[in-house]
Amino acid sequence: MDPDRPVMQNDAGKRNATCVSALNMIIKSLWDISVFASSRDDEPVFHEFLLNDLSLKHPLEANSVFDLFLNILEALPNWGSYFEVYEVAKKICNRCKMDLEYPTERSFGLIINASSLRESAFKDFTFENIVKVIKMNLKMPCDKEGCGKQNYVQRMINNLPSVFTIALEWTKNETAGEIYDTASVLATEIDVSVIYQCEADNRYTKFRLVSMVCSDGDRYNCVAYENNRWVIGDWDSVVSICLTQSIRPQILFFESDMRSPRTLEIPSSPFSTCNGLAFNINPDLNYFEQIVPYGIPDKQVTSLRRETDTLLPSEEVIHEQLVSCLAKAFSYDLVVWKEDPSVILVTQDNE
Ligand SMILES: [Zn+2]
């Protein structure tokens, strides 16, 4: 009999239990975010799907609860769209003045080393400022041949996600005091425009912490803000419990702090494009040769069919996707299709 075998089985069982615990707590933390409110009723379905899809394929290694989260987004790409951030890094060499803009990179949040948050150099810094400095300090060498000077890199984002995610990386050897020192730096409100350069209106750059996936040893838990309070009391109680129970915050979910969800109302009549947006799906473009469309002589009219040169889905599908893309681009959380009989009547008379 092989004496190692039962031990290996126990290890596998333990690893699987750890993975299931992490998965449960990620899902629980997501349900506390407004954009997932409508998915809560389907929890058992998502849960079973993810459990089958992930737990066996992706055994959870040390410190990789964030990897598990990324695997969830890979399995459910629609969810990913709430978290995605498009980041551009720009660098100007202060020796030879050569500037370089790196290609846009998509990510689902920031990963920060937990120990760097508690460095003494950051005493009296706000959380968002510490994060900004940590990111800026990731220097990159100048690309000009023969220069190679290490330069600071400016970070910009082109979009504001619905959920801004920060993952902390721990070594698992921290003392309770060190965990406490890191946790006490965290903030429940952040302004993303402090961390990144972004052109957005500053009413929309503020985010509020709504839930955290935490770990103590091999167990995971969720610390959430529900009904205007943290489940274990005020924020100070959350920080204290990190000390007394050695709880490490692993993934922090911040949601956009717009007071109420923004709603885009769409009349449900397909005829009503009154003063709105006309979108050519597949019309006869020859017609536009005979006129000066919109009074702009040097621009051509095109269509989705011409631009994509592929077989298109039904008009309803395109209509719905166009509206949801526009809603997303303008940071609306909710799209409501309104039945307005007067609109339908007027446009039908005109037909
Ligand atoms: Zn240079």
Domain co-membership, 345 together with 274: yes
**Closest C-alpha among 176, 188, 322 to residue 243:** 176
Domain co-membership, 247 together with 290: no
CA of 141 to the centre of ligand 1 (A): 8
Domain that holds residue 202: 5-256
Which pLDDT band holds residue 7 (cuts at 50, 70, 90)?
very low
Domain co-membership, 226 together with 341: no
Does the pLDDT at position 303 exceed 80?
yes
Domain co-membership, 138 together with 200: yes
What is the percentage of the chain residues whose pLDDT exceeds 70? Answer: 80
Alpha helices in the chain (DSSP H): 5-31, 43-54, 65-75, 77-83, 114-117, 127-136, 176-183, 192-195, 235-244, 304-308, 315-329, 341-350
Tens digits of residue pLDDT in 210-219: 999 999 888 8
Domain co-membership, 120 together with 43: yes
CA of 143 to the centre of ligand 1 (A): 7
User: Which residues are placed with Cβ below 5 angstroms of ligand 1, an ion?
Assistant: 93, 95-96, 142, 144, 147, 149
Instruction: State which of 256, 278, 299 marks the end of a domain.
Output: 256
Instruction: State which of 235, 256, 277 marks the end of a domain.
Output: 256
CA of 194 to the centre of ligand 1 (A): 27
Domain co-membership, 202 together with 296: no
Instruction: State which of 205, 226, 256 marks the end of a domain.
Output: 256
Determine which of 32-36, 250-254, 264-268 has the lowest per-residue pLDDT on average: 264-268
CA of 100 to the centre of ligand 1 (A): 10
Domain co-membership, 248 together with 268: no
Domain co-membership, 299 together with 152: no
Rounded to two decimals, the pTM is: 0.70
What's the rounded mean pLDDT across residues 283-311? 75
Domain co-membership, 205 together with 314: no
Rounded to the nearest 10 degrees, what angle do helices 176-183 and 235-244 cross at? 160
Indicate which CATH number applies to the domain containing 220: 3.90.70.10
Domain co-membership, 346 together with 227: no
CA of 156 to the centre of ligand 1 (A): 21
Q: What is the pLDDT of residue 51?
A: 82
CA of 101 to the centre of ligand 1 (A): 14
Tens digits of residue pLDDT in 25-69: 999 999 999 989 888 888 888 888 888 877 556 655 544 889 889
Which pLDDT band holds residue 123 (cuts at 50, 70, 90)?
confident
Domain co-membership, 245 together with 290: no
What's the rounded mean pLDDT across residues 289-307? 75
Tens digits of residue pLDDT in 304-340: 888 887 777 777 777 777 877 777 776 666 666 654 4
Domain co-membership, 320 together with 243: no
Number of domains, the chain: 2
CA of 147 to the centre of ligand 1 (A): 5
